[in-house]
Structure formats: structure tokens, C-alpha cells
Amino acid sequence: MNEFPWLTTLWVLPLAGAIVVAALPGRLRGVARWTGLVFALAALAIGIVVAVRFEPGGPQYQLVESHRWIPAFGAGYTLGVDGIALVLVLLTAGLMPLLLLAGWNDDIGGAAGGGARVTQVYVALMLLVESMVLISFTSLDILLFYVFFEVMLIPMYFLIGGFGPRGDNVAVRQQRARAAVKFLLYNLFGGLIMLAAVIGLYVLTARQHLGGAGTFDFRTVVAAANSGQLGAGPAVLNALFLGCMFAFAVKAPLWPLHTWLPDAAVSATPAGAVLMMAVVDKVGTFGMLRYCLLLFPSATHTYAPLVSVLAVIGIVYGALLAIGQTDVMRLIAYTSISHFGFIILGIFAMTNQAGAGAALYMVNHGISTAALFLIAGFLVSRRGTRAIEAFGGVQKVAPVLAGTFLIAGLATLSLPGLAPFVSEFLVLAGTFTRYPVAAICATSALVLAALYVLWLYQRLMTGPVRDGNEKLRDLLPRELVVVVPLLAALLVLGAYPKPVLDRINPAVASTLTTIGAHDPAPAVPQPEAAPTHGGTR
């Protein structure tokens, strides 16, 4: 138990910021933006403190806080971080100030109805999502995790459906509303399925009198699940696994449950879309790695081949559809479907190398997608359209914008030297040792990624300057403050990922050891026997 509740402070700060911002008078829009930024930076500072206090060689779960919450059925307020949760906390806390800066001058009044308090509501919703994501990553109580896993859908729904550039016509606003409803319905349905699984898991713990009359304590249930003390047959455990996996697969998203993502991504503001794809959706892959594997080890082994097949389909499918897009923002959204396939493939390959690559990929994808989507958002806001055919020759009038877009695009296609290359290589190498065919099929996406990224850059940035692009401004100082840290992180993690991997590797190794998953033994060719010859010496 820690003297100071660092993890509680971590998620309470953005929550408090949301309350303060929402209470500001409508005329203080500038104050609302600055207040939100200050609270986001404060949360980042606490996240850095948590990272400094975390010991890579220490216990699996650190900075643990535990208090009674609903003792009648064994639910507690229990927080703690392992290496995987730590890096995702830093990703979330690090991106939020940049997202608030990226949308600093966005004119979002029209889509939200033009109310006097629209800026306050927007900033408050962004902070509210951050708070709920942070408590999801740090929760060590299954019910506590589930509650915030679901509640975060509400502010995200309003960010998708309620905010966008001023001047949108009625048809675009209706499309945004449909995208928000689709997002909410998909994820709520997945959450209801998961609720049934959570209740079923509690019933099993109650029958075995774990924690007295039953418990939601994650560590207690994991210990019982991996020692065979839950007292349930394979059919029951498989059903509970599928209930949780379905909810995580919707949020991640995994093919074929992905169809809500492109519509939601293009309907929200660029900052809101990045919050969804780079942060919120990571709760799904994090849930797979922590809850599906550790709570249902036998079911994980049973369904790992099927999930791996779906992941490979998503990898190739997302890349192919990205190639055919005419909307620059929708194209980037489809690349995320492909990248989530890599993350899920690494998780269910259940090797140390692939698991570490998947956890690192969560971080690298968040950074690269944020960079590419935000830079594309700056470009679209200048031109007033998302249609790729409207661009051309941008590098002649806005060379810094074009150059930063190219770096972010090269990171997306996993160019060696940039952060996503390391994680993608680890996923493919680790997967090959267990599922060589899946790894080979997934490798085809590398070629497809080069095709959609470089072709996109060619159509947007090269060639003669098309009509309407002559006066496009280059990146402003505020926009450079957003973009430069993201590109720097891609370069640093591409050259030296060791500090992140040093924190991820022990958590991955502990997870795989707990569920009894071992790296496949390498196939060593046996030397041929020396030929024998007749005769005497």
C-alpha cells in the first residue's frame, strides 16, 4: 500500500478538470481551453511520477491502492499498474495535451448547435474520456474495469456526434449522428455480452467462496482460474471467454466487428478521432491481453487459432480497403483496422516476442496514428475538403506540412528506423514461431501499406499545384508544437525502444507463464549420419 494515492490522483485530475471547465461561463472560451490544458499537463506530470516510481524488476503490479467499494458482493476499489498498463497510461496522458492544442482553434460551434458553451462542453468531454481510460488501464477489480469500460462510451458518443467544423450541411450532420449511434450501439451490445460474462464469473467465485461470498478482485480470480479452483467445465469457461472477447473485439476493433470505426473517425474532429483510435480503442486490446488471457487460459488456447485467423483477415482487409479510398481521413481510419490486426495477432500468438511486440505496437500505433491523422486534419481544415482528388502540389506551397506528413506516413508503413517497425517486426517474428502461415500472410500487408501510404503522398503532395491549393498555409507554431513531439517520439522509439520494452517484457513473460504458454522450441536440424563404408582398416 502506498502512502500517497498516485493512481487515484492520475485519473481524478482530468475528471476534476472536466468539472471545472464545464462550470465556466459561456463567454470564457479561451479560459476553458487553457484550464483543460493545465489539467491535462498536470495528469501527464503525475503519469511521469508513476513511471519514475515504477520498478521494472519489482512486483508485477505496483503502486497498488485497495479500498472497500461494494463489500456485499466482493467489489473493491483496487488500482495498480504493471509494465503494459504503465506505457498505456503514459500514452494516454502524453497525447491529451497535444490533442487539446491540436483542436485549439477548431470552430466546432456549428455542428454542436452553436451554443455559447460549446467549447466548455467539448474540452470537458475530452478530459472526461481521458479520466475513464486511465482508470480502466489501472483497475485491478473486474467490476470497476467493466463500469468505466462502458461509461466511457457516453462522452465519446457526444464527441463523435456533436462536434465538427462549422458550416457542415444537414446531410453531413445526419451522417455524423448516424455514425455516433452506430458506435454506441455496437459497443453497448458488446458491453452487454461482457456483462453476462462478468456476472457468470462472479457466480463461479461465489460457489467456491472466493473472498468470502464471491469476489471481483482480479488477482484473486486469476489465481483461482489458473489453479483450477473456479470449478467450471470447459464449456462454461469457453462461453465466458467469448463474452469478454466479443466486447473487446468490438472496441479494438477486430474484423468483422470493425464497421463502426471508419464512419466514427471521419465524423469526429481530428482530435476526437485520434482520442478514439489511439486511446479508447486500446482499452479493447489491453482487455484481451490482461483479462481474456489471464482469466480464461484454457479457452485462450482453444480459440487462439481462430482469433489469429480473424486478425490476419483484418490486417489484409484494412490495407486493401485503404488503397481504394478517395477520402483522406477514411483512408487513415482503415489503416488502423489493419494495425489493430497486428496487435491482436501478437497477443494470441502467445509467445514472449509477439506479446512484447503487441504491447509496444499499442504505444507506437497511438503515436503514429495521432501524427498522421492530426497533420491530415490540419491540411483538410485549410482546404475545406477531405477528397484526395482536390489536393496536389501541396509540398510546393507548404513544405513543412508535406515533410511531416511524409515522416508520419513512413512510420505508418513501418519503415525501419521509425517506432512501428520494431513492434511490427517483433509481432511477425514471434508469430512465425507458432503460426508460420499466419505470419507469412500478415507480411503481405507490408507491401500494401507501402502502396497506400506512398500513393496517398503522391496524390496529395506532389505534382503541379491544383486550383484552390495556391494559398495553403504551412504549419503554424502551435501546430508544430503538436507535431514535433510526436515525430520525435517515433524517431526515439525507433532507434532505442529498450526503456519501453524493459517495462513491457516482464509483464508479458509473467502473463504467459501464468497461463502456461511457452515459446515453441526452435526446430534444430539434425546432422546427417556419416556414411559407413565396408572393408577393414
Residue 194 lies inside a defined structural domain of this protein = no
Mean pLDDT across 310-339:
91
pLDDT band at 113 (very low <50, low <70, confident <90, very high): very low
What pLDDT score does 424 carry? 93
Q: What's the burial of 193, exposed, middle or buried (CB within 10 Å: 0-12/13-18/19+)?
A: middle
What pLDDT score does 25 carry? 86
Mean pLDDT across 319-343:
90
What pLDDT score does 99 carry? 93
Mean pLDDT across 154-171:
76
What pLDDT score does 225 carry? 84
Contact 257, 250 (CB under 8 A): yes
Residue 430 lies inside a defined structural domain of this protein = yes
Mean pLDDT across 219-247:
87
Q: Please determine, for residue 145, whether its predicted confidence score (pLDDT) is greater than 60.
A: yes
Q: Please determine, for residue 166, whether its predicted confidence score (pLDDT) is greater than 90.
A: no
- Number of domains within the chain: 1
Mean pLDDT across 376-387:
86
Handedness of CA 379, 381, 386, 390 (dihedral sign): negative
310 is written with which cell numbers?
A: 480473424
Q: Please determine, for residue 239, whether its predicted confidence score (pLDDT) is greater than 70.
A: yes
- d(CA 137, CA 282) in angstroms, rounded, equals 9
Residue 355 lies inside a defined structural domain of this protein = yes
pLDDT, tens digit (0-9, with 9 covering 90-100), for 168-226: 567 767 787 888 888 899 999 999 999 999 998 888 888 877 766 788 889 988 888 88
The residue with cell 477514411 is 330
Residue 409 lies inside a defined structural domain of this protein = yes
What pLDDT score does 466 carry? 85
Least confident of 39-43, 176-180, 442-446, 458-462: 176-180
The residue with cell 511490427 is 424
Q: Please determine, for residue 449, whether its predicted confidence score (pLDDT) is greater than 60.
A: yes
Mean pLDDT across 79-106:
91
Q: What percent of the chain has pLDDT over 90?
A: 53
Mean pLDDT across 249-258:
90
What pLDDT score does 529 carry? 58
Contact 308, 349 (CB under 8 A): yes
Q: What DSSP designation does 73 have? A: G
Least confident of 105-109, 120-124, 487-491: 105-109
Mean pLDDT across 42-55:
95
What pLDDT score does 501 carry? 93
Q: Please determine, for residue 392, whether its predicted confidence score (pLDDT) is greater than 80.
A: yes
Mean pLDDT across 9-28:
91
Least confident of 146-160, 169-183, 262-276, 384-398: 169-183
515 is written with which cell numbers?
A: 497461463
Neighbours of 465 (CB within 10 A): 16
Q: Please determine, for residue 43, whether its predicted confidence score (pLDDT) is greater than 90.
A: yes
Residue 371 lies inside a defined structural domain of this protein = yes
Q: What DSSP designation does 532 have? A: P
Q: Tell me the pLDDT of the chain averaged across its residues.
A: 87
Pick left, alpha or beta for residue 288 (phi over 0 → left; psi -120 to 50 → alpha; otherwise beta): alpha
pLDDT, tens digit (0-9, with 9 covering 90-100), for 281-296: 999 999 999 999 999 9
Mean pLDDT across 159-170:
70
What pLDDT score does 528 carry? 63
Residue 449 lies inside a defined structural domain of this protein = yes
Mean pLDDT across 121-138:
94
Residue 424 lies inside a defined structural domain of this protein = yes
- d(CA 275, CA 265) in angstroms, rounded, equals 10
Domain containing residue 410: 296-516
Handedness of CA 159, 164, 170, 175 (dihedral sign): negative
Q: Please determine, for residue 132, whether its predicted confidence score (pLDDT) is greater than 70.
A: yes
Q: Please determine, for residue 2, whether its predicted confidence score (pLDDT) is greater than 60.
A: no
Instruction: Give per-residue burial for 313-348: e unless 16+ CB within 10 Å, then b.
Output: bbbbbbbbbbeebebbbbbbbbbbbbbbbbbbbbbb
DSSP 469-485: -TT-----HHHHHHHHH
Residue 415 lies inside a defined structural domain of this protein = yes
CA angle 261, 265, 266 (to 5 degrees): 125
80 is written with which cell numbers?
A: 495498480
What pLDDT score does 487 carry? 95
